[in-house]
Amino acid sequence: MTHQNKFGMFIHWGTYSMLGLHEQALNKYQLNRKEYEGLINKFNPVDYDPEKWVLLAKSAGMKYICFTTKHHDGFCMWDTKYTDYNVMNTPYGKDTLKMLADACKKHGMLLSLYYSNPDWHHENAYNPNSSHQWASVNPDASDLDAYRLYIKNQITELLTNYGPIYTFFWDIPPKIDDTSMNEHIRALQPDILINDRGWDAGDFSTPEREYEDMEVKSFNRMVEACNSLGVQSWGYRVGEDFYSMRHLITSIDRYMAMGASYLLNVGPDGNGVITEEYSSRLLRVGDWYNRMEGCLECAEPDSFKYEAKHASPIATKKNGKTYLHFCDGLYADFVALSKYPSLPKRVRLMNTGAELPFSEDLLPEFSNKVGVAEQVFLHICGIPVDELESEAIVLEIEW
């Protein structure tokens, strides 16, 4: 993904969405298991229209959708013959994954699949080596050989019945080395990319929510970052707290400028609707992303050591142009570069599409010894920072 990175939509959806609490509501709220699993008898998302989901993702500039086929509660969102605890046995009675796969194919959207290693419904799934086992149905009946066979059987269904799959997203590392699991996936779909939360290191890393090391400017392996619009939950939550546009856009710009793909999550409600409070925020992020005109995708690190006053941009290059990503915005309405290759031919502000004036100037940086300005800066000015205060700022420079 480092050189073919993309912006994608993550979707957490299951019977838990009916409760409007959390995708791990069974454990988090200590719900009665019988009542929780009884939601299978009520799940009827009559407003589910996967084509709307796909078109929403496309409007936001997204190139792929990662769908939760099975979360920790073990409920399966596809037509599986290996457990009755699946969407076909709900009042809805339709294969929601098949419907989404068809919509993705129709509109040229890549499809990825999420699959949880913990399974709180399967009687053999308890794994003492791993985490997120707290709501396992029977910790005394752990049989991980039997459970791995169950997983392989389900993976066979997922990777043979729904067309080409772009990436496979294991969740919660089992902390057991078993290369046969990913080998099985690749035997079914040789071109697939697999993350690192499964049974071996996989193809790419999956940092979640925040990234702390701000000194890093690029990654040395493929990376797919993920975050949710909602702070508290990945699944639909009534009264959710939402991240600011500033926080989300900063994160997307930083990760993708360093070469990562980025999954931004929505939680459809129990009726199958991505509600306005989610969709409107997604479209606001997408508005910024679309104005970047693809400069965040498939770019390479720019090896020149740019230095800027009061800023530390991430520099990339694509199609002969340099892109300076000021992920955290700017403190003033100009950029002053103290190290740069030459006088540019053209500077454009990607956020607005406007060309910016620039010159080589002596700015007020004085030598303490002689009291005169000694440093010449590349002075790029006229940036409407107040109008762009919720956005990462990106400059396109032709040298």
% pLDDT > 70, the chain? 95
> 7-291, which class in CATH?
alpha beta
- Under 8 Å between Cβ of 321 and 394: no
Q: How far is CA 318 from the centre of its chain?
A: 22
- Under 8 Å between Cβ of 391 and 334: no
For 235-289, write each residue's pLDDT tens digit: 999 999 999 999 999 999 999 999 999 999 999 999 999 999 999 999 999 999 9
- Contacting residues for 35 by C-beta, under 8 A, at least 6 apart: none
- d(Cα 6, Cα 303) in Å, to the nearest integer? 22
Tokens of 72: 């920790």
Enumerate the domain spans of the chain. Answer: 7-291, 300-398
How large is the average pLDDT for residues 169-182?
98
For 18-43, write each residue's pLDDT tens digit: 999 999 999 999 999 999 999 999 99
The pTM for the full model equals 0.95
% pLDDT > 90, the chain? 91
- Under 8 Å between Cβ of 106 and 55: no
Distances (CA, A) of 127 to 78, 154, 168, 203: 24, 18, 21, 24
pLDDT band at 212 (very low <50, low <70, confident <90, very high): low
For 84-108, write each residue's pLDDT tens digit: 999 999 999 999 999 999 999 999 9
Distances (CA, A) of 348 to 307, 322, 355: 18, 11, 4
- d(Cα 346, Cα 355) in Å, to the nearest integer? 7
Write the DSSP string, 268-335. Answer: --TTS---HHHHHHHHHHHHHHHHTTTTTSS-EE--S--EETTB--EEEEETTEEEEEETT--SSSEE
Quick one: fold of 300-398? Immunoglobulin-like (2.60.40)
pLDDT of 1 reads 47
> Side chain identity at 306, as an amino acid letter?
Y
pLDDT of 217 reads 66
pLDDT band at 369 (very low <50, low <70, confident <90, very high): low
Higher pLDDT, 368 or 70: 70
- d(Cα 299, Cα 311) in Å, to the nearest integer? 21
